[in-house]
Structure 1
Amino acid sequence: MSAPLLVLAVGNPSRGDDALGPMLLERLQADGWDASGQVELLCDFQLQVEHTLDLLGRSAVLLVDAARPGVVQGAQLSSLQPCPERPAPASHALDARTLLGLTLALQGTAPPAWMLAIEGAAFGLGEGLSLQAQQHLDQAHRLAQAWVSEQLACAGCAALTSPAGAA
């Protein structure tokens, strides 16, 4: 049985600020959010058709990805609506709205979903995390913690409003 909440982060740790999604997931894991069995943390290089299966049976999903400069300011959390467009037959990568739309088309339902976009500055191969991205990661971490807490409270899991082991 799947955890009710899924945090699905995408990004390539070898491409500078594209590592923001995976790095946020590492922070959430260090916080202990996945220890209760109520939250699953999943990481991949990009969203793919196969992720429709990961969305099944979830009460809510948070998708996390780096954003190019100017797309968002720092870190931005926004709700997502499914997009009915189908991916091109030759494409394996999807955007978040198309993933939700495909999940809806294939499964007849899609969980409520949010996107946490984290502004990056440098995406070159072999680059480290930029100073700006580090600051945006801190902001995104706070937004993700608040989202998980709120979703757990909404799901009737009010006793689990802090990570395992936290006082």
Structure 2
Amino acid sequence: MNILIFGYGNPGRGDDALGPELVAAIQAENIPGIECQDDMQLQVEHVTDLTGRDAILFIDADASCVAPFHFSEISAEKDDSYTSHAMTPHALLHAFHTVYGKDAPPAFLMRIRGYQFELGEALSSDASENLEAASLFIRNLCKSPYAESWRSLHRG
């Protein structure tokens, strides 16, 4: 399998670091078939990172989802984010289709509940607890790294 786990968020903005924090934890385990990447935001250049994948998992902090996290399959959608400096995962999948003329690999989004997003803050204790729950969930996903099995795990 060739799975990409892509966490994004600003490590200098409190709970916005949840995506990169989780990716770092998974990457440290060196799981065969799982590639981990992180960045502060999704950009159109990340389209090339999606090629040749069996599945993609995006991970981001969210101030509005239920705790501890929300996990679901996502699809390509054109939105206004493609014209800004940061894109949504949906817009990135749409850009993939535009660039390559085919659908992107199956993609999923984990939104981890965050609470404090101020510049210079550390992770809040509540977000840290949510990160623990999300980490356990992702480790279980990695035991069965197939989009077909992930589809039955909608959560949140």
The answer to whether the superposition gives a TM-score over 0.5 is yes
Aligned residues: 148
Which residue does the alignment assign to 1:123? 117
The RMSD of aligned alpha carbons is 1.9
1:18 aligned to 4, 16, 19, which one?
Answer: 16
1:76 and 1:140 in contact (8 A); partners too: no
- 1:44 CA displacement: 0.2
2:3 alignment partner AA: L
Question: In structure 2, what is the Cα distance between the partners aligned to 1:8 and 1:150?
Answer: 18
- 1:94 CA displacement: 0.5
* Cα 1:153–1:80 shift into 2, 3 Å: closer
- 1:121 CA displacement: 0.5
1:138 aligned to 126, 132, 147, which one?
Answer: 132
2:57 aligned to 47, 58, 62, which one?
Answer: 62
Q: Which has the larger radius of gyration?
A: 1
2:143 aligned to 138, 149, 161, which one?
Answer: 149
* Cα 1:39–1:99 shift into 2, 3 Å: same
- 1:71 CA displacement: 2.2
Within 5 A, what are the aligned runs for 1:6-155? Answer: 6-33=4-31, 36=32, 38-68=33-63, 70-85=64-79, 87-89=81-83, 91-107=84-100, 108-151=102-145
1:86 and 1:102 in contact (8 A); partners too: no
1:103 alignment partner AA: F
Q: Look up the SS of the partner of 1:138 in the other structure.
A: helix
Q: What whole-Å deviation, never above 9, does each CA across 1:69-126 have from its counterpart, x for those lacking one? A: x32321121100111346454x121111111111112112301000011000101111
Higher helix residue share: 2
Q: Look up the SS of the partner of 2:144 in the other structure.
A: helix
TM-score for both structures, normalised by structure 2:
0.87
Question: In structure 2, what is the Cα distance between the partners aligned to 1:142 and 1:149?
Answer: 11
1:29 alignment partner AA: Q
Structure 1 unpaired stretches of 5+: 156-167
1:83 and 1:98 in contact (8 A); partners too: yes
Percentage of matched positions with identical amino acids? 36
- 1:142 CA displacement: 1.2
